[in-house]
């Protein structure tokens, strides 16, 4: 019997309204809410290093901050080209641990050589993370031959920037998605119509800048952690492990929401997301 048909009156049954999330999908969405709204890189750093690090992200010397800003934008530019040139719909998945290992190794380099290694280490680790994000996207049913889906992978770097503001009525996840939506759509349309020959086009530059600005907030915390004298090479590896683990978690939540939106429609998923978010905040 179709869900749109009325149940027979010969027996009693609990009616599931058309479009309601299944219990399994509601549980999956609840996990996504935790991943997207209630986790932060600073928390993962504190767990990895044993002390608070969040405030140090605001203490980078200006020359270092300038170099970091350039490195962040360069990393996102490299990731943008990688997303649209080399990600493949059927590339092998299940490499999450391998990506963590490679990124952790690059963190050892960053921890040993400090800020001098940043222009090399950050683009490398960002592309490693992007490939891990792409594997998560494919597992969630994304077709990475489509520019919009490939750019949704890049979008992950803008999503996991901090802890939830308990006074904010708007979901931070949907707020950032809303801010980026027009730029992502315009960039995807540009790539379809014009290809990648004009990566300096205003629509591309704007999207890269928007993502780099938010990604830079997390990178600042990463650099501040690696600058702590007691961290060193081993600590740099721990920082990069936390770095990629954070964005893998954000990617899982992001592509879970997108998968459910394809099944149930954006409006229903957003309404249930907001309900679950409010429920979790009330219990906190």
Give this prediction's pTM: 0.82
Pairwise pLDDT comparison (141 vs 105), residue with the higher score:
141
Please work out, in degrees rounded to the nearest 5, the angle formed at the alpha carbon of residue 34 by the alpha carbons of 219 and 99. 50
Mean pLDDT of all residues in 211-228: 84
Distance between CA atoms of 84 and 11, rounded to whole angstroms?
A: 54
**7-37 pLDDT per residue, tens:** 343 333 333 344 589 999 999 999 999 999 9
> What are the distances in angstroms from CA 227 to CA 59, 169, 248, 253?
11, 35, 24, 30
Structural domain spans, the chain: 24-283
**256-276 pLDDT per residue, tens:** 999 999 999 999 999 999 999
- Name the average pLDDT for the chain: 79
**Cβ atoms < 10 Å from Cβ of 31:** 14
Share of the chain above pLDDT 90, in %: 45
Q: Residue written as tokens 């952790």?
A: 104
Distance between CA atoms of 105 and 10, rounded to whole angstroms?
A: 65
In eight-state DSSP terms, residue 66 is H
Mean pLDDT of all residues in 137-160: 94
Residues ≥6 apart with Cβ < 8 Å to 231? 49, 111, 225, 238, 239
Are the beta carbons of 109 and 236 closer than 8 angstroms? yes
Confidence grade of residue 122 (pLDDT, cut at 50, 70, 90): confident
CB-based burial label for 227 (10 Å; 0-12, 13-18, 19+): middle
């Amino acid at each position: 019997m179709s869900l749109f048909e009325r149940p027979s009156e010969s027996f009693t049954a609990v009616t599931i309204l058309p479009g309601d999330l299944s219990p399994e999908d509601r549980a999956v969405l609840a996990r996504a809410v935790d991943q997207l709204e209630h986790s932060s890189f600073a928390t993962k750093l504190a767990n990895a290093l044993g002390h608070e690090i969040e405030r140090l992200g605001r203490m980078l010397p200006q020359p270092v901050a300038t170099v970091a800003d350039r490195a962040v934008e360069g990393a996102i530019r490299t990731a943008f080209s990688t997303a649209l040139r080399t990600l493949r719909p059927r590339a092998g998945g299940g490499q999450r641990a391998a990506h963590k290992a490679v990124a952790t190794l690059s963190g050892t380099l960053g921890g040993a050589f400090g800020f001098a290694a940043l222009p090399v280490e950050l683009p490398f680790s960002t592309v490693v993370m992007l490939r891990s994000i792409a594997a998560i996207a494919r597992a969630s049913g994304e077709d990475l031959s489509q520019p919009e889906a490939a750019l949704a992978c890049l979008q992950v770097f803008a999503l996991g920037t901090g802890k939830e503001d308990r006074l904010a009525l708007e979901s931070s996840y949907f707020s950032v998605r809303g801010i980026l939506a027009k730029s992502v759509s315009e960039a995807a349309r540009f790539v379809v119509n014009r290809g990648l020959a004009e990566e300096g086009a205003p629509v591309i530059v704007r999207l890269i800048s928007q993502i780099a600005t938010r990604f830079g907030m997390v990178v600042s915390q990463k650099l501040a952690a690696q600058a702590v004298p007691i961290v060193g090479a081993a600590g740099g590896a721990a920082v990069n492990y936390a770095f990629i683990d954070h964005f893998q978690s954000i990617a899982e939540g992001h592509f879970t929401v997108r998968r459910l939106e394809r099944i149930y429609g954006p409006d229903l998923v957003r309404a249930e997301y907001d309900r679950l978010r409010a429920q979790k905040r009330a219990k906190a």
